[in-house]
Chains A and B, each alone.
Chain A
Amino acid sequence: MALLDLKVNGQEAQVEAPDTALLLDVLRERLFLTGAKRGCETSHCGCCTVRVDGMAVHSCVVLAARCQGKEITTVEGCGDGMELDRLQRLFLEHGAVQCGYCGPGMLMAAKALLERNPQPTLDEVKKGLDGNLCRCTGYTPIFDAILAYSRGA
């Protein structure tokens, strides 16, 4: 076991976890941040996407121990915990969420993309979300919400 010093959504947390604990498990089961979802657990679906130092990663294939000293951001870090932020609102307005299972990962991948490239083309949005599957919406409403965000809607 190891004692890990993590910084999640701006807050310091110390957790005890097995040496090779996965970030997804630590977030969900030790810190009770259940926004990042458990899906394939093999880096295919993207519903576990969080940001580490700004980069979108699949937290099911990241060692928590490696995230020490880095900034971890999950969907719980969007908005202020009560109010949705602008991208979340646009997801809602565009019907980008049906069952919602992909949503937290989509939001985190989209935020990483928009920070890197604030005015993405549709193709760039698709490429930026290529690690995130959605079984419900057909993707179009998700892309629309992200493009609306970049237009300042």
Chain B
Amino acid sequence: MECKLIRPTDLDEALAAREEYTDGLPIAGGQSLLVMMRNRLISPGALIDLEPVEALRGIEVQSTGISIGAMNTCRQLIASPVLREEVGVLPSAARQVSSTAVRNLGTIGGNVCHNEPGADLPPVLLALNGRAVLRRRTHGREVPLEEFFTGYFETALEADEILCRIDIEHPNAAGVYLKHAISPEDLAIVGVAAVVVPDSERPGAVAEARIGIGGAAPVPLRASRTEAALKGAVLDEETARAAGELASTEVDTGSDPHASAGYRRKMVAVFVRRALLHAANQMMGNGHGAA
């Protein structure tokens, strides 16, 4: 059966098509979707092209944070002056996604909806308190990313919904993303994002540290017990080491041909420690910092 291509001109048309074609899928950059089709893992009856949909574009600074259209490519995230200035950790992670050709077309929305273990953007967006802004024809809803990533290649996205934007908090914080992979173009064996918010009362201490972990487990996650332990802490070597150890107990690691569960667990400890120390350095280095 031939797969149809639907090219809506605006979001309303796209949402109507999403409702109509129950065997259809939205196509963003196509970098994962077309590979899945080629490998016969999926065979949608229709592709709904999100490229022409203006409402899914743009990066807007709002009073509460930054709203990023789902169709922004990694290339656009890297080039965005606003993101570089305000949340450097996001373009820095986008730069580490796969290869130039994939970054040229692959989008933030596709990266998040595909939810492939080891993808680079989910841990960062988790650490930035990201929220998925979803729409269906009749209404919309917002889901914190922690609830959006539900399983191995699975998300809370419903069959008639489109992810329109990812909203992140204006961090006033320092942030780092570290990727551990066999080759830089590979998915992460372990990818750790650390975002630290300085304590305005006590120089050197952190009011809050947020840790997003990808690759290590089937689903990207926040290391919430570790985060709780770090509230108000001064991030020195010893604190960061202990945080890494604690974080490694929070992750339900798995084995695959790239790495064993035990190795992944160890690498979580190492990369959480390093990411926290980098982020703390950044925080001390330039006051408000740019996550």
Contact = CB atoms under 8 A, between A and B. Distances in A.
DSSP majority for the A interface?
Answer: mixed
Contact of B5 (A2, A128, A130): A2
Nearest to B49: A66
Q: Which of A22, A57, A61 has the most CB of B within 10 A?
A: A61
Interface residues of A, number: 30
Nearest to A1: B2
Contacts of B184: 130
Contacts of A66: 49, 51
A34 interface: no
B3 interface: yes
Interface in B101-142: 101-102, 104-105
A63 B105 contact: no
Contacts of B4: 19-20
A56 B2 contact: no
A20 B7 CA distance: 11
A118 interface: no
Interface in A85-112: 109, 112
Given A19-B2, A62-B105, A128 B100 contact: yes
A62 B99 CA distance: 15
Contact of B30 (A1, A62, A129, A130): A62
A32 B2 CA distance: 23
Interface stretch (A7-15, A40-48, A74-82, A137-145): A40-48
Contacts of A132: 99
Contacts of A109: 100-101
Contacts, number: 78
A42 B38 contact: yes
Contacts of B64: none
B31 interface: yes
A39 interface: no
A37 interface: no
Contacts of A41: 38
Contact of A22 (B7, B31, B34, B104): B34
A58 to B, nearest CB: 5
A65 B27 CA distance: 13
B31 A43 contact: yes
A61 B47 contact: no
A22 to B, nearest CB: 7
Interface string B23-45: 00001001100110111000000
26 contacts: A2-B5, A19-B2, A19-B47, A20-B5, A20-B37, A22-B34, A41-B38, A42-B38, A56-B104, A61-B30, A61-B34, A61-B105, A62-B30, A62-B34, A63-B27, A63-B34, A63-B47, A65-B5, A66-B49, A109-B100, A128-B100, A129-B100, A130-B184, A130-B185, A131-B98, A131-B101
Given A19-B47, A43-B34, 8 more contacts: A1-B2, A19-B5, A20-B4, A62-B105, A63-B47, A65-B49, A109-B100, A127-B100
The 4 closest A-B pairs by CB, nearest first: A131-B99, A19-B5, A131-B101, A61-B34
